[in-house]
Chains A and B, each alone.
Chain A
């Protein structure tokens, strides 16, 4: 059998195993694992334990960042920091829709930008922002669409953008120069989302809204909220300003130290053990997915399936590839979640690079589009999570319908970034 036929056969076996696992209601991460093992068996490798173990730790650093960053944000929430911030913003700006929307967007962007996970945004600030938006007279499906879309953009926003990080790592490209190419479009798209979907919002009924938002501890203030973020920022800056005298801490430890500060600055005594356990349980499906995606990528590389996909993509006409991104990126995200980045993102960036596009800007553009797939079946984890958090009782299709127009704007923005990546190269400065 030729290498192409062999890899194609293994790919088909993997797809069949994935579909079968989904049909018997296995979780996405286990379905990915089953597909990987089936691929190894079909490739004649039996159970390649070394390769499975090595693949499982591919994203170990990212998992640690994920865990510590989410613990940090959860401690800020448990201390009453998030409720305090939402209430303060609401009290001060409830008559000024534009300022209120702008501040709500920032509140929604921070957790996902720091952790790389849209689900963290939905859980940390999404539920409270949803209360505000509902009291502005917006229907629940619209509120859910706003939270979901901005949560997705927050995951793509810097400093931690898992799609960009995983793709860059797959081609030995430094994760440097992504800050502005990710920040500017994420911010613009988030504002577009909230102003388009919240166009008909009325002034907030302050009294009713405040009744529903939890009361923060009496001693909570802006300093207590800002302190852990300042510690985070200072540690990052210290590493950059004094690189040869300041010890290398690594992002997981920096987030852990910020979490410790949040714990110490809390006006109420926090049960850090309980919050840690809850954080781990909250992240288990996502960490499971990252672990199993690592295994899948390893087995695809071992068997030649990754090479088949890569060479098939890089040899396509580039115009056809770009034109199909609005479908391929969200669908690959829906099936593989972050696995889409190493499996599809790597060959796409290679293609763009060889065709003279700016790989950093092109990858940033792709990172905007990927999160939209989190609303699509079979996974739709973040879409469904948002529905639950907001308390939407209407059918899922109505929520999807609300996402359509702003979703298309995000896709257009991402595709324009890819097409004009060369001209936008000046953004890739740090």
Chain B
């Protein structure tokens, strides 16, 4: 072989290894980062999705379900964080409920990472940070950044076109890994479809009344700062929206789930179970395609000059000023909305009462920060400490 070619092959081989090894270690660490969850006073049990559908056992998506309160014939709500893990306010709100809430009546079931697989990857081309840290009074707690779609390491290849079950509607091929396009799920489907199927079984077996799916949206997307609800929950959402706008210090709209758009939680859960699904969106400038430098700072502060410029040209569906959309605001909006929805539900259906306390409201999270409500895992008894 030509010595020059040989030398070049060695050089490129070494450069490849120099990138591959540290990058591989970084991907490995992200995938295996253990996120501590300290069980709060209200948690009475922890189950897994495989308790409701054994077909998911052994899969990375056999997600944990944290149960607050006792089954006493009162109402039950299921709260989903991390259907899209790249939308951190939903996961953080779910964490705060698990670690702080107490039940007076009824039950709250929380899945903080509804798509664990999607929480283990970041988006190629998106330049996401691998993780982010929330400051707390006892130090920092690190969370995986995650993506919108299940990790291709867990579900691959994608079909040439994704055909939704059971509607047969054609959707984008990658959305076969999008947990908010695979409801109500399929028992013999791909992993993400099986995950939704398992959650549908959970909703049926636990006689869940309400499902609240926590999301965030880019500001260039019209469905933002809103509650999207199945038609059977119209009254509940409209009343809650009015109360939130009047009492909680921020405005939130209501939209009805379109019948033609299949696979989404706010449509399929309502169609296939007794529960009323509500999906909530807060603004996350980090997701906008016109965003500038992509880093943890943008994720947590929601401040971006380029997205603001797009706003000045009328291209955004939510306001964005120099204060941005800090994560505390976004987490607070989700928590206050949950409080008001549960209160409104209990007023409408006293026979299916769900009453919780110690869930911080918007004003409290904005005042004290998200980290204030996260518990120190070092001080938790071993039997009250779990990991996501």
A residues sitting closer than 8 Å to B (CB atoms) are 2-4, 6-7, 43, 47, 49-55, 57-58, 60-61, 159, 168-176, 236, 239-240, 243-244, 248-254, 294, 297-299, 301-304, 307-308, 310-311, 314-315, 342, 346-347, 350, 354, 430
Contact = CB atoms under 8 A, between A and B. Distances in A.
Given A251-B160, A311-B306, A430-B170, A244 B293 contact: no
18 contacts: A3-B292, A43-B293, A61-B158, A159-B160, A168-B172, A176-B170, A243-B159, A252-B157, A294-B125, A301-B125, A302-B127, A307-B306, A307-B307, A308-B306, A314-B313, A315-B313, A315-B315, A350-B289
Contacts of A252: 157
Contact of A302 (B20, B293, B304): B293
B291 interface: yes
Contacts of B186: 244
Contacts of B20: 53
A43 B127 CA distance: 13
Contacts of A50: 22-23, 26-27, 130
Given A299-B127, A350-B290, A304 B22 contact: no
A2 B220 CA distance: 23
A250 B290 contact: no
Given A49-B26, A310-B290, 6 more contacts: A3-B292, A52-B23, A60-B124, A170-B289, A298-B126, A304-B293
Among B186, B304, B310, residue most surrounded by chain A Cβ atoms (within 10 Å):
B310
A6 B22 CA distance: 28
B91 to A, nearest CB: 20
B27 A58 contact: no
Contacts of B160: 159, 236, 239-240, 250-251, 254
Interface string B120-132: 0010111100100
A253 B157 contact: yes
Interface residues of B, number: 51
Given A4-B305, A298-B124, A298-B127, A346 B161 contact: no
B366 interface: no
A248 B163 contact: no
Nearest to A236: B160
B379 interface: no
B175 interface: yes
B309 interface: yes
A307 B124 contact: no
Contacts, number: 155
Interface majority SS (helix, strand, loop, mixed), chain A: helix
B159 A314 contact: no
B125 A58 contact: yes
B9 to A, nearest CB: 13
B168 interface: yes
Contacts of A7: 292-293
B19 A311 contact: no
A248 B190 contact: yes
B53 interface: no
Contacts of B157: 61, 248-253
Contacts of A170: 125, 289
A77 B212 CA distance: 57
Contacts of A254: 160
Nearest to B298: A304
A331 B24 CA distance: 36
A47 B176 CA distance: 34
Nearest to B24: A53
Contacts of A159: 160
The 3 closest A-B pairs by CB, nearest first: A250-B157, A174-B172, A53-B23
Interface in B130-177: 130, 148, 156-161, 163, 165, 168, 170-176
Interface string B358-387: 000000000000000000000000000000
Interface in B228-268: none
A32 B170 CA distance: 36
Contact of A54 (B124, B175, B304, B310): B124
Contact of B126 (A52, A57, A301): A301
A393 B315 CA distance: 52
Contacts of A249: 157, 159
Given A61-B158, A294-B124, A307 B290 contact: yes
Interface string B14-35: 0000111011101100000000
B44 interface: no
B60 to A, nearest CB: 18
Contact of B161 (A57, A176, A342): A176
Given A248-B190, A294-B124, A301-B126, A307 B291 contact: yes
Given A174-B172, A248-B190, A307 B292 contact: yes
Among A7, A61, A249, A311, residue most surrounded by chain B Cβ atoms (within 10 Å):
A311
B79 to A, nearest CB: 25
Interface in B160-200: 160-161, 163, 165, 168, 170-176, 186, 188-190
B306 A244 contact: no
B59 interface: no
A366 to B, nearest CB: 16
A57 B26 contact: no
Given A61-B157, A176-B161, A304-B293, A350 B305 contact: no
Nearest to B172: A174
Interface in B182-229: 186, 188-190, 220
Contacts of A354: 220, 315
Contacts of A168: 172
Given A55-B125, A347-B289, A248 B23 contact: no
Given A50-B130, A244-B165, A315-B313, A310 B306 contact: yes
Contacts of A253: 157
B159 A250 contact: yes
Given A3-B293, A50-B130, A314-B290, A304 B306 contact: yes
A3 B306 CA distance: 8
A277 B378 CA distance: 56
Nearest to A250: B157
Contacts of B127: 51, 54-55, 298-299, 301-302
Contacts of B173: 174-175
Given A50-B130, A61-B158, A298-B125, A310 B289 contact: yes
Nearest to A10: B293
Nearest to A243: B163
A55 B306 CA distance: 22
A172 B86 CA distance: 14
